């Protein structure tokens, strides 16, 4: 027979209720009484539809027995390991914006696994986040150098999001008066899907087709065009002439570029691109079964006020010393409200910082060496 006194002494000391704000047994009992039910299980059965409840096989097993709840960090970690062990690791031949990388151990230990860096957001309190802000500035500087564009933001959610933001920015530049957008059919499928959603929300007529067959007689109807480079089939293009003609027709030109290829190939800025977007995942970010991965967004000086995402700049503190802070905030929601071109917190700061350190760790020559090796193995 179980001895209550011994059981109390053996009770785990890492219960979530003691380490986090949560309900105690007393408060739970009071809440159930007010709700008119006898147990939490009864409450869940009454309010959660049966078709979305976890099936019996999904319950957590500990020592061969199913547990309905997990009340300690130790058991939670055990459950997470069980779920991780269920993943099947296969060779990835897809590519299309997702590639295996090597994360240097110094970055893994000091950034990815360091709680001080655990946030996707750009820091709000500059006075206690100078290191992270400086690193994000390094990320922006690296993107500007690789794309040969005048300005870059501090990251977006991923490549597809960046591409969709480029579509909206192109539409906004024309004040909604040009309602068509041309998308190259050789764009990565995940980018096409997100752009479709964005266009549907904004009532933009999306035309997907072969760039070589673009109908120039209707150029005045289009606010922008996006191409993938290298494209979905691995072809690398020189879009310099296309970019020049698009600019003559006042069509905003976006190139969705592979960041590693930019260490060797012609950058978007040299091909008359108005916007350059892509993913920085190749810069040391693990695949993580599909994400998250940092998106980048760069544009010309002329269009910088239309650019989405947060921007880190250099200023001075009250003592006259160099200081890093968020810049160009008049574009953002907390100031411009519904007229904002940048949504608060839309970033992947942790992963952008990791990629910035990766680029610093390898340097220009090291990145070019990795790109040449990748090209040789392709």
pLDDT digits (tens, 9 = 90+) for 325-378: 988 887 777 777 777 776 666 789 999 999 999 999 999 999 999 999 988 876
Where do the domains of the chain lie? 105-377
What is the DSSP code (8-state) at residue 156? B
Q: Are 292 and 157 in contact (CB under 8 A)?
A: yes
pLDDT tens for each residue of 283-320: 999 988 778 999 999 999 999 999 999 999 999 999 99
CA angle 85, 86, 87 (to 5 degrees): 90
What distance in Å separates the CA atoms of residue 327 and residue 124, rounded to the nearest whole number? 12
Parts of the chain with a pLDDT under 70: 1-22, 56-71, 92-94, 342-345, 378
- Residues 6 or more apart whose Cβ sits within 8 Å of residue 94: none
User: Which pLDDT value is given to residue 184?
Assistant: 98
With beta carbons less than 8 A apart as the criterion, state whether 332 and 222 touch. Answer: no
C-alpha–C-alpha distance, residues 135 and 327, integer Å: 15
Instruction: Please choose, from the candidates 187, 361, 230, the residue with its C-alpha nearest in 3D space to the C-alpha of residue 283.
Output: 361
Question: Residue 299: what are its φ and ψ, rounded to 5°?
Answer: -150, -175
Q: Does domain 105-377 have CATH number 3.40.640.10?
A: yes
Token digits for 205?
């007529």
Decide if 247 contacts 220 (C-beta within 8 A): no
Dist. CA 236–CA 101, nearest whole Å: 21
- The pLDDT value recorded for residue 298 is 98
Q: What whole-number distance in Å separates Cα of residue 163 and Cα of residue 187?
A: 10
Phi, psi of 210 (to 5 degrees): -80, 125
d(CA 277, CA 268): 9
Burial 334-357 (b: 16+ CB within 10 A, else e): eeeeeebbbeeebbbbbbbbbbbb
pLDDT at residue 279 in the model: 97
């Amino acid at each position: 027979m179980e001895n209550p006194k011994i059981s109390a002494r053996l009770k785990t000391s890492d219960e979530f209720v003691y380490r986090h704000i949560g309900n105690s047994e007393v408060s739970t009992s009071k809440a159930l009484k007010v709700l008119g039910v006898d147990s939490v299980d009864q409450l869940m059965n009454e309010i959660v539809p049966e078709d979305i409840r976890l099936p019996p096989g999904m319950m957590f097993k500990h020592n061969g027995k199913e547990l309905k709840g997990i009340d300690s960090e130790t058991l939670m970690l055990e459950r997470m390991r069980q779920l991780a062990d269920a993943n099947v690791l296969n060779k990835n031949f897809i590519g299309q914006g997702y590639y295996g990388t090597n994360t240097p151990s110094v970055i893994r230990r000091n950034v990815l696994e360091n709680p001080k860096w655990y946030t996707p957001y750009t820091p709000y309190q500059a006075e206690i986040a100078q290191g992270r802000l400086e690193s994000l500035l390094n990320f922006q500087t690296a993107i500007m150098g690789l794309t040969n564009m005048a300005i870059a933001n501090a990251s977006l959610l991923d490549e597809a999001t960046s591409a969709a933001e480029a579509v909206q920015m192109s539409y906004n530049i024309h004040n909604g008066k040009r309602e068509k957008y041309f998308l190259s059919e050789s764009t990565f499928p995940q980018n096409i899907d997100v752009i479709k959603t964005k266009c549907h929300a904004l009532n933009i007529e999306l035309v997907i087709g072969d760039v070589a067959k673009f109908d120039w007689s209707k150029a005045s109807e289009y606010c922008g065009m996006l191409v993938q480079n290298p494209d979905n089939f691995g072809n690398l293009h020189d879009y310099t002439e296309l970019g020049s003609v698009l600019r003559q027709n006042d069509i905003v030109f976006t190139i969705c570029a592979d960041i590693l290829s930019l260490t060797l190939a012609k950058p978007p800025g040299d091909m008359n691109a108005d916007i350059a977007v892509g993913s920085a995942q190749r810069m040391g970010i693990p695949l993580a079964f599909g994400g998250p991965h940092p998106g980048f967004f760069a544009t010309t000086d002329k269009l910088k006020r239309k650019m989405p995402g947060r921007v880190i700049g250099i200023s001075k503190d009250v003592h006259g010393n160099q200081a890093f802070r968020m810049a160009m905030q008049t574009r953002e929601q907390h100031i411009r409200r519904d007229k904002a071109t940048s949504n608060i917190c839309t970033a992947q700061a942790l992963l952008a910082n990791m990629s910035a350190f990766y680029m610093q760790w390898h340097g220009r020559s090291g990145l070019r060496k990795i790109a040449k090796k990748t090209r040789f193995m392709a």
